[in-house]
Each structure stands twice: as C-alpha cells, then as structure tokens.
A and B are shown apart, each in its own frame.
Chain A
Amino acid sequence: MLYREAGQFKASYEEDQQIFPIRQDRVGMAVLLAFFFLAVPMFASQYWLQAILIPVLIFSLAAIGLNILTGYAGQLSLGSAAFMAVGAFGAYNFMLRIDGMPFLLGIVLGGLSAALVGVAFGLPSLRIKGFYLAVATLAAQFFIVWALVKFPWFSNYSSSGVISAQEIQILGYAFTTPESKYLLTLAVVTVFALVAKNLVRSTTGRRWMAVRDMDVAAEVIGIRPMRAKLSAFAVSSFYCGVAGALYAYTYLGTVEPEGFNLDLSFKILFMIIIGGVGSILGSFLGAAFIVLLPILLNVVMHSTLGSAMPPGLGSNLELIIFGGLIIFFLIVEPHGLARLWQLGKDKLRLWPFPH
C-alpha cells in the first residue's frame, strides 16, 4: 500500500481537523487497535502481558501526563512519580473506606486527588520558571513520599507503608488473569490518550502552548497564564494519578511509597525526552523504548557472551546507552522518536519523487 495523500481532498474544516487526516494513517490506526485489542490477548504469553505490555501502557499514560505539563504547557516537573503515588494511595483509600466503590470511579477519584495535589504544588509556577520550578516540583516529590510514609493512615496502618490492591471488579466481573488486566489497562489508556489528543488540538491545548512559547504575547491576546498553567498541572497530575492507580492495581498488586521515588520521576522524564516532547505518540514510543531496552540488552548479551558475562555489565551498559541517547535527543532531536517517525513518513509521502 502506498503512503499517499494525493486525491484525498478535504471538503470541510471538519475533515481537516481529524486526528489522522490521511486515510492510510486511519487504516493503520484501526489495524493497530485491532492488533492490540484482539490478537495480543489471544497470542501473547503471560510474561509479555504482565511484565512488558501492561507496564508499557501504564508508563505511556504517565508520560502523556508529564508531556501535557512539560511538552505542551512548558512547565518542567520532577514530581511525576509522586503524583502517581497520590493516585495509587488515593484510589486504594477510596476503595478501602467507601463500601461498594466501583473500581473505575475509585481510579478516577485517585486521579482527582492527584490533580488537587498537583495544582497545589503547581502554584509556584505562577512565579518561577525553568530550573527553579523543577526544584519546587522536586520538593513535591520528596514531600509526598515522606507524607505517605509518615502518616500510616494512608496505607491503612500496614507495616512499612505497603498496600495491597483490592481485587478489581467491574459489574461483577473479576479481573484476575493477565489477559483481563491487560485489556482493562489498554482500554483505559486508549480512552485517556484520545482525550489528551482532543485537549491538545482544541483551545485548551493552544492556550497551554501559547503560554509555553511566549507568555507575554499569550496574555496580550487574552489568555490567563495562571489558569493555563494550573489547568495543565491539574490535567497532568490527573493522568499521572490514574497511571499510579493502574500501576498498583493492574501491574504490581502491592506498592509502597518508596516505589514512587525520584528514580521513577526521572524515568518518566526520560521517556518523553526520548519519545518526543510535546507528542502523544512520542509518550508511547518513549515508554516502550525505556521498558524494552533493558530487556533487549539482556537478551542480546546473554546470547553473545553467555555465562562469560561479568556481573553488573548489563545494568552499567544500560545506563551508558540511556545517557548517550538522552544527550543525543536533547542536542540533535529534541522532538524525539516521534519526530523521527514523522520525518520518515514525510519522506515516504514524497517518495520516489523527492521534489
């Protein structure tokens, strides 16, 4: 099938506004969805579902959250993991303390708790920018994890703050198998990705980007930077919160506050740097890349070096490759893998006549 838009004319603004204006992209997306919703649960092994696909999806969601704040609204944050923690512990407590709390509502309430906390910690963004804001979000990162450990109420007085997620039930159906948990995660993430795409292609998204690109000009055309920034903090933290809740419920089952540490925040930041700052697609690519790279590296080294592999080489090599890639993307291609993908498509669109 040729990748062409020739002959596809847009007769209305409605058609021009579509998420995928080119027909081949729409078909591609439909095939992709069918593959992940139908083929994968039928054929993928439990290991793939539970250890790779579910975390990739959850991290994609968190990366979308951070991308909304950093990529679209231009506010750097190092607190993503902490907002995930609020979502996880929020959902846990809502389901624990309110009888008959439906699972999906519990997840949403967890996300809303994270949104509230996110707005509170976003307040400094009204006065400070860049590096200083990053430090302020770092404070959020440490404070939230500390508070979750310090006040045992949050973990229902369990030892060392570990919580065990309740069984997931929706309309009487229990999600216990990896297949069902995968499908549930996939459905939630698909809906949220679509919503994110809707937000960034409408006035809300344009306001975020305007404040990111030139806040004085934004104000002069009537945008309130304060509202734009705080709404970005709210939506971003909501996404991270929902990702955190899924992290506890469909991925790990048991989590502790320390699991949502600064390392995880950085991991999500690296996902958007490698995947693409300011791109929903990039959030998926970055998450997949960062989850898959260590696994791939491991496989390659075991098959080449076998038992001769010195211990620790794998994790060191991983750090070196990550470091190199991050420097590469920051300097050479700040829009990440998503941009490389786009460039490839643009080439294909003109191929074989590049002029």
Chain B
Amino acid sequence: MQTTNFSIARVHLTTNLRQTVVALLGVVFGISMYIFMNSFMAGVNDTQTALAFTSLAHVRIYNDGPADGTNLVSRAYPAATIAHIRNPRVLPYATGIGKAAALQALVRAQPEVVAVTPQVNLNVFFRNGSTQLNGTLSGVDIANENKLFGISKYMTAGTWARLRYRPDGIILGTDLAHDLGVQVGDNINILTSDGISRRYTLLGLFQTNVKQVDKGKAYLNINAARQLLAQHPQYVTDLQVNVRHYEQTAPLVQRIAPVIPYKVESWQLANQQLEAGAQLRNIIALAVSLTILLVAGFGIYNIMNMTINERIREIAILKAMGFSGGDVTQIFVTQALVIGLVGGLLGMGVGYGVARIVNVIPFNIAGLQTLPMTYYPRNYLLAFGFGVLTTLIAGYLPARKAAKIDPVAILRG
C-alpha cells in the first residue's frame, strides 16, 4: 500500500517535471541563501572578534579605586543625621593589584583559563621635539602578552622579542609613530602624569588595524614601566586573562570575583557594543534567511496547491477506488518531502559554492584581503533542517485539503 502511494507520488513528480523543477529551485534558493547569509555573518562576527581581541583580553582584573566616599557619615550614623561635608578628598590609597604573583597563580589554575599576563598600564604623553601626543603605555610580560594577543603577528618593523632585553626600548603603533614623526632607532620622550620624563629608543612598530590602538598605544618591558612609576618590582595594574571559549567568561567571573578584592570584568561587560553588534548581525541574518525560507515555502505551497487542483479528478478517482484520506495525504506529502530533500542537498551545494565565490571578492579594509566567510557544518545542517521542515509544512497543508475532497462532488461534474 505504501509503495503504491510512493509510486503514484513518483509519477506525479516526473510527469509535471517543470513544476517539480520550479519548486526545487525555490528550495535550493532558500536553503543556499540561508547558508550564505549565516556563513557570511558568522565570518563578519569572527573577523570583528579577532580584531577586538588583538588588544582586549577575555577577562580583565584591576583595582578600580576606592568605593564612593562622598558621604562617609551616612555609614556610621542613622539616615536622618544631617551631615555637612566640604571639599572631600581621597587620601592616597594602594593602587594596583597587591600580591599579583599569587593572584596570577590562582587564576592560572582555573580549568578554562588558557593564558594570564600581568600589565602595568599608565596614561602618558609621547613627545618628540615640540610634538606631544597622549596615549597609553603598557608595561608587559613579553612572552605572556604575546600568548594572549599574538602581538608579534602585527609587527611591521623590528621584532617583538627584542623588548625583553631592552629596558630602554619601546614599541609603538604605526600611526602613533607616524604622527610623532619617528622611525625605528629614533628616541622618544615619555612624560607621566606625575611629571616624570624619560627617554626610550623605538625598537619596532605594530599595526593591529584597530585605529584607536594603532594611534594611541605603546609597549614597554614591564620592569621598565615599574621603574618609570618608581614602583616595587611586583607592581601590577591589570591582570589580563584569556579563556578557552571567549563567549564563556561568565563561569570564571562568577567563581573568582567573590574571592578577589578587585574588579573582575569580562569583555562582554567592558565592550557591550561589540556583543550587541554581533547579536544584532546574528538577528539580521536569521530574520533575512528565515524570510527567504518562508518565501520558498510559499512557493512550494502554491505549486502543491496547483498540482492538487489539477489532479482533483484523479484524487476523486483514487478515493472512489478505495484510497483513504491518509493515502492521499501521503501521496502529496511524499512529493513535498522529495522536493525538500533533493532541494536541500542541492541547496547545501549551491550555498557552499556561493560562499566560496563571495569569499574571494576583494575587500581591502582593516587588514582584510577578501570578504570574510565561515564554513561551519552547523549552518548547513540548520539550513537543511529548516528547509525540509518548511517544505513539509508547505506540502502538508494542501495535502490535508486534498485528503478531504469528496469524490462524488467532483465526479458528478
């Protein structure tokens, strides 16, 4: 009985080949566009993330200063107490992270942590003659810094490793060096906010393609930075931490934040615009691709409806001969399913092809050479699943209508 229904479905599909092909093309288009859109958006997001993480760690631990102290009286006396405070000032407090080595060991021991690096960060003026620009100076642990941010990849002049043995050396962003008018081997004067001034030799240049970084950041050996600030040899302002999966920072933050007396901040919290951008792009991709699938679904629905109207007499004859409503549904759902499965397979191929083609279109901005693209199997499987589901629904609705046809009403004429 079932094989009979299948062979009827096969005859229907092959005799109306043009309609079958049109329906098939609809599915192929829907599924390939779904794959292309989502692969492209994932590519954009991945690129964005890679760019962001050239200077941003997944989790940052730092001392964010004393809590709000504008009205200390209220902590000790009832709320109704009238306090009169003038010119409150914060007395010197401990800056930086105390016992940084122990803290670093604790964080490093967490299962998801892949790298930790200490930094001494300060805002300074970069001076060359009368040119004076402000920016951030990062005193870093040469090896660990590179492990987190892969900064050596972005070097356009000199080498990253040289900084390790040159306490008088400095590495600048290309744009910063350009603005200062200095070249490798030249000297640069650094002025701190405490008014201390010191001279360094430019050892190399880097270019991350994040303008903000390239225009305003410089690296120093961490020990040189401590000397510049006249701090003790364990002084650290920031601990930068990378975890295995950058999206999954929450568990680590939740685990260590309560036991550390410092601020533990995930990249998502510090850079909500990045997260929002990625999410919004995902939503757009999903909305567009689901719309395309929906349109393809409507196409199939229309074609199935047409087929059923054309074959309404045949359906009546089948029912007169003893085929049940379920048989009729099966005959037409089978057709939709075949279109969905074949269209799905072809659509995955076409989607891959389109992705490949777009992936070689030149795009020379922010260090990219071509448009970004990803090839995640997940996108292909989802597209296939959604596609088959859409065709099933689009086929089932008219098929159910066909099952309810009253043969006498049709055959009586």
A binds B: no
List B residues at the A interface (Cβ < 8 Å): none
Task: Give A residues with C-beta under 8 Å from B.
Answer: none
